[in-house]
Amino acid sequence: MLWLIFSVISYLFFALASLGDKIVLARSPKPATYVFYVGIFGFFVLGLLLFFEIPFPNEIAFWLLLINGFTYIFSLYALFSALEKFEVSKVVPTVGATQPIFVLFLTWLYKGPQTLGMTEFLAYALLFLGSIIISVEKDDQVTEEFISLTFLASFLFSLNFIFSKLIFMEFDSSSFIPGFFWMSIFSGVIVLSGLLIKSFRNNVFLKEKIEKKTGLIFLAAQGAGGVANVTQNLAIQMVPVCYLAIMNSIKGVQYVFLFLITLFVSLYFPKILKENFSKGAIIQKTISIIMIVLGLVLLTLCI
């Protein structure tokens, strides 16, 4: 049950972080630059060495951490590239709506087909369908670029999800700190190594005038993203492997938060962010929210 609580909390903060990312990307930094600064924030976990004795990863964990780091950095780049070009209320739900399928498929590859009870299956179906419905709109201009970027981000985030679980399993299953520490460090090292590539280095150190307000929004977004990462990884560490796809389908909660927050900001602070919501879209999203809430209620009855 605790993993479910941490999952819901993480998706609230992911929604806040996504909104902040969209606002910042609309004002100046390029996706590559943004990925770099998000990645190096991972080095803040070095402070944990003052309080914990953290073991070195074994050979299997090392390779898992390396692959996980690359999938995380490239998934961020794909996501930020999509956010730079398309509306946040369309990108984030589309990325997340397809993730449960990828996670379910990857889990089956790793553990074989998992049997779900009728209530669990119904909860999964409601959460998944609610996520799909909340992400689709009548007037959507679905371009090849939109599909490519969002599906790539979705697949890479799904891989990252699975590898994170495998990494936690390689360390002491009762301890969260070692796995989280090394995942953050590897992501930071990988993004730093990107500076060896001239085009990436030029993007990162490109002199752009960034407003003070934009810098504050960036810091707030990274703070929200940090809380989201910690709570989601806590949930991943706790959840049984057979529940990984169900946990990922809870991502629909993030779209509920994102829709409500975006609607509020668009109505009351249009200078910061303005997105258009028709009456039909609001009704559609309300129906999907009801489905997601029902799915969560059913899920709490299963665990």
Cβ atoms 151, 302 nearer than 8 A? no
Does 124 fall in a domain? no
For the chain, how many structural domains are there in total? Answer: 1
pLDDT score at 243: 77
Query: What pLDDT digit, counting tens, does each position of 29-85 carry?
Result: 566 777 787 778 778 888 887 787 888 888 899 999 999 999 988 888 888 788 777
pLDDT score at 62: 93
Does 95 fall in a domain? yes
Does 129 fall in a domain? no
Distance (Å, rounded) from C-alpha 193 to C-alpha 87?
31
Q: Which of 283, 261, 282 is nearest to 273 (CA)?
A: 261
pLDDT score at 119: 75
pLDDT score at 67: 93
pLDDT score at 66: 93
Does 270 fall in a domain? no
| pLDDT-flagged residues of the chain (< 50) | none
Please list, residue by residue across 161-184, b when 16 or more beta carbons sit within 10 angstroms of its beta carbon and e when fewer do.
Answer: bbbbbbbbebbeeeebbbbbbbbb
How many Cβ atoms sit within 10 Å of the Cβ of residue 235?
22
How many Cβ atoms sit within 10 Å of the Cβ of residue 286?
12
Tell me how long the chain is.
Answer: 303
Distance (Å, rounded) from C-alpha 153 to C-alpha 97?
12
3-state secondary structure the chain: CHHHHHHHHHHHHHHHHHHHHHHHHCCCCCHHHHHHHHHHHHHHHHHHHHCCCCCCCCHHHHHHHHHHHHHHHHHHHHHHHHHHHCCHHHHHHHHHHHHHHHHHHHHHHHHCCCCCCHHHHHHHHHHHHHHHHHHCCCCCCCCHHHHHHHHHHHHHHHHHHHHHHHHHHHCCCCCCHHHHHHHHHHHHHHHHHHHHCHHHHHHHCCCCCCCHHHHHHHHHHHHHHHHHHHHHHHHHHHCCHHHHHHHHHCCHHHHHHHHHHHHHHHHHCCCCCCCCCCHHHHHHHHHHHHHHHHHHHHHHHHC
pLDDT score at 141: 57
Does 261 fall in a domain? no
Contacts of residue 173, Cβ cutoff 8 Å, sequence gap at least 6: 237
Distance (Å, rounded) from C-alpha 180 to C-alpha 183?
5
| CA-based torsion, 76, 82, 83, 85: positive or negative | positive
Q: Which domain holds residue 59?
A: 2-113+138-239
